[in-house]
Structure 1
């Protein structure tokens, strides 16, 4: 009996608690930031090449890029600045630090992609579905690692955390308002393809961004 007690004590002292398998490592977070930012940047370049506007601040940046001589990546970063301040107050410093890094990477990767890829012709349906899907998966990768991309995304995550609202559906509603503004600058065909790109982005979030369904959130 004494031996059994001794073994029980030794086992409690030497066995460390299991690692939380739902937590991402620093390397996984870094890889998600790079991959997510690149997918968003690539999607933006495809949509800009077709003259489309899309969801969120990305859509505002694309819309502004048709009127001013600035890259879509730089505009994306500049428009996000006031939203960074809101996110800092409502979502905390770690979230906003990762978000600012992600936005900086989108700016860099959009410039690299634009200078590395010459698109002579692209069908707007391909740009809307392909670009929108790329951007949607990029956004999903960032959200799964507690990172945003500013603007509408910050508002949607805030509403999810405070009221339990769906990020995808919240995005859809806010993005629809942005596209209505874009209607003043786009013809009906471009507007229709832009709506398709917005749906492509947000359906990724509606389908796959559901807190509680997946581990590692």
Structure 2
């Protein structure tokens, strides 16, 4: 007499539904993550520092021209949405568009609600980089980004297994080298420190196969 074969399940292997987020979870994540990023951007703006990606380019333009970071950041990201739609899907593109819009708004409102009478530039570099890294990590885990280089970094991770943090770090170094032409030497060094903090957070915590940016 043969014994019935017991069905076994691997509880360590997540099902597709196990990693899906509900709508309210995505909404909360988009709001909280963009608020965190905007606070980090405010620390950088107040200390005349820059970061990488399109946010870094927007900060450079703000420091050079005096135009609002929020407006520059929103406009500079517009060309990247087509790549996001073609490569990452409709849901990712919509969430990213909303996230960029929220950062543009929050970065304008945050200085009106927070006043820095004394801000150590070293603290601003480390804390600002950490805040932006944490905010980006939240966005990545909810299949969103902040446009620009984030889209390229996530695409390379999803399709080639290259960690998004390392791609971001390499491109950010190029942007920060350009910053030497417009900012004092010590400000650029502190900006590099912040970029390292930001991208280490992403590289350590966001690995291929754990959270997917697009279905």
TM-score (norm 1): 0.87
The aligned residue for residue 89 of structure 1 is 86
- Distance in 2 between the 1:120 and 1:60 partners? 26
Runs of 4+ aligned structure 1 residues displaced above 6 Å come to 214-217
The match for 2:124 among 117, 122, 127 is: 127
Shift of 1:74: 1.5
Q: Paired residue for 1:56, among 41, 49, 53?
A: 53
Superposed CA RMSD in Å reads 1.9
Deviation at residue 121 of structure 1 after TM alignment: 2.5
Normalising by the residue count of structure 2, what TM-score does the alignment of the two structures yield?
Answer: 0.88
Residue 69 of structure 1 deviates from its aligned partner by 3.0
Structure with higher Rg: it is: 1
Equivalent residue runs for 1:1-217 within 5 Å: 20-213=17-210
Structure-1 separation of matches of 2:188 and 2:156 = 28
Point out where structure 2 has 5 or more consecutive residues left out of the alignment: 1-14
CA deviations 1:8-62 (Å, max 9, x no partner) are xxxxxxxxxx993321111111111011111111100001111101121111111
Contact 1:99–1:147 under 8 Å retained in 2: yes
Unaligned runs of 5+ in 1: 1-17
CA deviation string 1:111-130 (max 9, x = no partner): 11011112223111111111
